[in-house]
Amino acid sequence: MIKTRLIARIDVKNEFAIKGIHLEGLRKVGDPNALAVKYYQQGIDELIFMDAVAAYYDRNTLHSVIEAACKNVFVPITVGGGIRTIEDIHRALTCGADKVAINTQAVRNPSFVTDASKTYGAQCIVGSLDAKQTAPNQWEAYIDNGREPTGIDAVEWAIKLQQMGVGELLITSIDKEGTKKGFDIDLIDALAPHIDVPYIICGGAGNLEHFPHLFTQHTPSGVAAASIFHYDLSSALAIKQSIKHYVEVRDD
């Protein structure tokens, strides 16, 4: 059985780790590399670095952050935000990233995802889906770090991303993100039956009870969280202990 991965998400703005609610109202929470080392030492399985302002710069600005992290952190790293060209992917991987997460450019140029998957392999390409509820049992895909609606149904887009060649999905609930009120089970209920690749759930984790509650209903291949780590509400080790009766976890 594949072991569930516990992932720390670190959103970055102007070289500072930041955190908001619903991907808005961003506030500084520390140095991204210091946080990465801390979470690595606490037993995190993977890291996601997301450029929170890539939409403004039209490029990813995390190269120095990734290079620094790779000197002290030895777990897989995904980088996202502003990944728009094959060259962007090449540079991210050269800096030390293992995977790239693509959202905005997937909507604007779907063939880019297919080309990226063919060039680097599906295992390297993560389809990042930011979803916001618009009606009962209906969610819309958003781009530009959750700022811009697309008019695309989130379930249909998850299916399309898989057809385009992504090897994994990163599903972020905008409604739950930063609230610390628990994962968006309704969103996962809607998406999970249509997903045939590994998927990561992100948004809403605020205490230990939220994790067993998720895993009694779904078995994502990974869970990403930010606030629960940034604000020292819990640790990777404690979370793994809380879910090990439901799924296999990495304990090395």
| 37 burial type by CB count under 10 A (0-12 exposed, 13-18 middle, 19+ buried) | middle
Q: Residue 56's pLDDT is what? A: 65
| 245 burial type by CB count under 10 A (0-12 exposed, 13-18 middle, 19+ buried) | exposed
3-state secondary structure 16-61: EEEEEECCEEEEEEECHHHHHHHHHHCCCCEEEEEECCHHHHCCCC
Q: Residue 163's pLDDT is what? A: 97
Instruction: Show the domain range for 94.
Output: 5-243
130 is catalytic: yes
Q: Residue 218's pLDDT is what? A: 94
Neighbouring-strand partners of residue 133: 139
| CATH assignment at residue 147 | 3.20.20.70
Q: Are 56 and 178 in contact (CB under 8 A)?
A: no
Active-site pick, 11, 45, 51, 144: 11
Give Cα separations from 84 to 29, 50, 72, 221 (angstroms).
27, 14, 28, 26
Sequential pLDDT tens for the chain (252 residues)? 578 999 999 999 888 999 888 777 678 889 999 999 999 999 999 999 999 887 666 666 788 899 999 999 999 999 999 899 999 999 999 999 999 999 999 999 999 999 999 999 999 999 999 999 999 999 999 998 888 999 999 999 999 999 999 999 999 999 999 999 999 999 999 999 999 999 999 999 999 999 999 999 999 999 999 999 999 999 999 999 999 988 888 875
Q: Residue 33's pLDDT is what? A: 95
φ/ψ (deg, to 5) at 156: -65, -35
- Residue 125 located in a structural domain: yes
Q: Residue 86's pLDDT is what? A: 96
CA separation for the pair 9, 244 (Å, rounded): 21
- Residue 223 located in a structural domain: yes
CA angle 39, 213, 209 (to 5 degrees): 55
Active-site pick, 51, 88, 130, 184: 130
- Residue 155 located in a structural domain: yes
How many structural domains does the chain have?
A: 1
